[in-house]
Structure 1
Amino acid sequence: MNILILGIFVAAAFLLQALMGYFQIRNFAHNYHEVRQGGRVLIGKNPRRFRQGSLMLIGLDPDDRIQEIRIMKGLTVFSRFREVDRFDGESVAEVGADYATLHKLSRTERECFLNAYRNYVNYKTNNLSFEDFDTSRVSMFSLPIFSEISMKMKAIPQTLTHVFKKKII
């Protein structure tokens, strides 16, 4: 009976995490759409598994000047985007190439900005690969939560046989 309660608790936790992840993805889509209204958007990421990760949206005008920056930092699904108004009006190329300017950002923000800047340079130099644009293999079910659920589901038969063998003997 304890295993059944534990299983229900684990399933409820996964469902809650999936639901909260859905709301976080909606928050990303909403912020991306708002930034996209002003022009092109650079996306920088700094994913971490057990430390604070970050995701940055950089809105650019037609002259590649920064209109706005939004960043989401955190460990949990409760993280939300906030605005960073340090570099409004500055050229993304100048900010990305200036060591002193970049050190005005925190370490995670700086890594995020440099990832977005690398994408910008690859775009400007036509060095983007097909994989950068290929979204055919991207689906909601490729999110980490679903791969985690899949691994747990595959482990259930082995766990159950192990539990029942102990009770029979």
Structure 2
Amino acid sequence: MFFIMLIIILAVGFVVQYLFGFIQIKHFTKHYTELRENGKVAIGRRTAIIRSGTLVLFQLNNKNVIEEARYMQGVTVFTKFKNFHGLEGKKINKIQKEDLANYNKLLKRAIIDAQHTFNVVQAGGEIEKIPSPMMKAVKKVNHMFTKKGVKKHGLHS
């Protein structure tokens, strides 16, 4: 009986998580589409497992100048996008550390990621996928059980 209840609770939790994730994706799509209607959009992200994740959207004009900036920062799926100011009128590829002095550490990292992503895409490259927090944890566990840098030798007779 205990295992049946546990399976039901896990299934309900999975469904709820899926629905909230869907709502958050829909929210992201709405903001991305609004900005995309006015030009290119640069996206920066800073993922985290326990701490706040951060996502930035920069709407750029045809000269790659930031016209509008929005960010989403938080731990839960209830986090919403907010406008932020201070980078309007700057070219995305010309943002300097001094321009980021008024922002928190996580937002700075997401802005730098947006700049990096923009530069890679402009050069014709592809953006590497950031593994999910679960995949990062799995890789850490796997790393603990494997020896890096040790050559495997065959059996000697």
- Equivalent residue of 2:68, what SS? strand
Where does structure 1 differ by over 6 angstroms across 4 or more consecutive aligned residues?
none
Letter in 1 for 2:89: G
* Count of paired positions: 134
Q: Provide, for residues 77-123 of structure 1, a one-character-per-residue CA deviation record: whole Å limited to 9, x for no partner.
A: 111111112222222233x2x22111221111100000010122223
2:49–2:133 contact (8 Å) kept in structure 1? no
Alpha-carbon offset, residue 144 of structure 1: 7.7
- Equivalent residue of 1:67, what SS? strand
Q: Which of 125, 130, 135 pairs up with 1:128?
A: 125
With normalisation by structure 1, the TM-score equals 0.71
Letter in 1 for 2:101: H
Structure having the larger proportion of residues in helix: 1
Q: Distance in 1 between matches of 2:97 and 2:133?
A: 34
- Equivalent residue of 1:57, what SS? strand
Distance change (3 Å), C-alpha of 1:12 and 1:144 = farther
Distance change (3 Å), C-alpha of 1:133 and 1:99 = closer
Distance change (3 Å), C-alpha of 1:49 and 1:144 = closer
Gaps of 5+ in 2: 136-157
Q: Provide, for residues 112-163 of structure 1, a one-character-per-residue CA deviation record: whole Å limited to 9, x for no partner.
A: 0000101222233x2513xx399xxxxxxxx889x9xxxxxxxxxxxxxxxx
In structure 1, what is the equivalent of residue 147 of structure 2? Answer: none
Gaps of 5+ in 1: 135-142, 148-169
Letter in 1 for 2:51: R
Q: Provide, for residues 17-36 of structure 1, a one-character-per-residue CA deviation record: whole Å limited to 9, x for no partner.
A: 10000000000110100010
Q: Distance in 2 between matches of 1:122 and 1:144?
A: 24
In structure 2, what is the equivalent of residue 102 of structure 1? Answer: 100
In structure 2, what is the equivalent of residue 159 of structure 1? Answer: none
Q: Distance in 2 between matches of 1:30 and 1:127?
A: 27
